[in-house]
Amino acid sequence: MKIQIPATSANLGAGFDALGLALTFYNYVEMEECDEVDISSADGVEVPTDENNLIYVSAKDLYAVCGRKLSGLRLRQHSNIPMARGLGSSSACIIAGLVGANKMLGDPLTKDDLVDLAAQIEGHPDNTAPALLGGIVTAVFDGRKVHWVKQEVYTKLRFAAIIPDFELRTEDARACLPKEVSHKDAVFNLSRAALFSASLLTGKFENLRTAVHDKLHQPYRMELIPDCREVFDIAYTHGAYAAYISGAGPTVMAIVDEENKYFAGKMKFSLDNAGLGGWQVHEFGIDNVGTQIL
């Protein structure tokens, strides 16, 4: 069986740990049950080849939930989504393991069950839910169950991932956040997260620049991402509707009108001229389908 799992972009500015969307950028996993653990990379990207592999761990967890023992698994991974860049690489592994294992067992778990189990493994649903479901997903995890809404998005927008040549571990990106925030900052984020979803779905794209402003995580994570503010400024110079840190970072995501056809080229040219040649620019659309078995 071959599984296609989309990359995801979480938080979308102000929607910390609650908003995420799926992108037309994919990992592929070939999976079959066998008597041993046989894991390899199909494209040379280094992946864990033992029982610590996250796809294997997730598949084993699903088997356990169903009261079954996983004797072994043959995995072939094709990893397009770069690791530790804020594009949902770990969530893609979790979803691949759960969807594949569920299919091997005859689909005993519902989509809701899979959303819940993925969030329990990852700790939050902002990447895992859109990776499974596609579209833009608003999700609340109460510790056991995920309450979610998926909305398919058909817009004239592109999402330009501006990806640096360095990693930022999610653990480090979370460790830099304050333990408490003010009531004023909480209200600031709530209003903008609501504005983002409404504006994206109704076509009021001029609101997006305001809607991605945030006081809960981006100001702190910017300190861990060299030249992040300059990348934001360059994106706005070339007509981006909005720019935000994708997930935990360090990727910066720019939301661009599809009529702005040369955004990626102009962005890359300006980055190179600013001495930021290590940043690459790739444009994607929104994947409204989510994970598929091909």
Q: Return the CATH number at 27.
A: 3.30.230.10
The whole-number pLDDT of residue 251 equals 97
Distance CA 135, CA 93 (A): 18
Residue at 257 is within a domain: yes
In this structure, what token pair is assigned to residue 178? 């304050």
Domain span at 89: 2-152
Buried b (16+ CB within 10 A) or exposed e, 110-144: eeebbbbbbbbbbebbbbbbbbbbbbbbbbebeee
The whole-number pLDDT of residue 39 equals 92
Considering the domain architecture, whether residues 180 and 129 belong to the same structural domain is answered as no
CB 100 within 8 A of CB 5: no
Residue whose pair of structure tokens reads 């029982």 in the numeric block: 51
In this structure, what token pair is assigned to residue 209? 């620049």
Considering the domain architecture, whether residues 148 and 172 belong to the same structural domain is answered as no
pLDDT score of 154 more than 90: no
Q: Structure pTM?
A: 0.94
Asked which of 104, 137, 152 is the last residue of a domain, the reply is 152
* Residue 293, strand partner residues: 3
Distance CA 156, CA 159 (A): 10
Distance CA 55, CA 61 (A): 10
Considering the domain architecture, whether residues 97 and 207 belong to the same structural domain is answered as no
Considering the domain architecture, whether residues 268 and 249 belong to the same structural domain is answered as yes
For residue 63, report the phi and psi dihedrals to the nearest 5 degrees: -60, -45
Long-range contacts of 47-55, Cβ-Cβ distance < 8 Å, separation of 24 or more: 47/77, 47/79, 53/93, 54/90, 54/93, 54/94, 54/97, 55/29, 55/31, 55/93, 55/94, 55/96, 55/97, 55/100
The mean pLDDT value for 123-151 works out to 94
Residue at 292 is within a domain: no
Amino acid at 69: K
Tally of domains in the chain: 2
Residue at 291 is within a domain: no
Stated as kind and residue range, the H or E segment containing 207 is: none
Helices and strands of the chain, counted as H and E runs: 10, 11
220-231 pLDDT, tens digit per residue, is 999 999 999 999
CATH number at 195 reads 3.30.70.890
158-216 pLDDT, tens digit per residue, is 999 999 999 898 888 899 999 999 999 999 999 999 999 899 888 999 999 999 999 99
Asked which of 96, 125, 152 is the last residue of a domain, the reply is 152
The mean pLDDT value for 93-113 works out to 97
Asked which of 98, 129, 152 is the last residue of a domain, the reply is 152
Residue whose pair of structure tokens reads 């300006």 in the numeric block: 270
Considering the domain architecture, whether residues 130 and 203 belong to the same structural domain is answered as no
Residue at 258 is within a domain: yes
Considering the domain architecture, whether residues 6 and 139 belong to the same structural domain is answered as yes
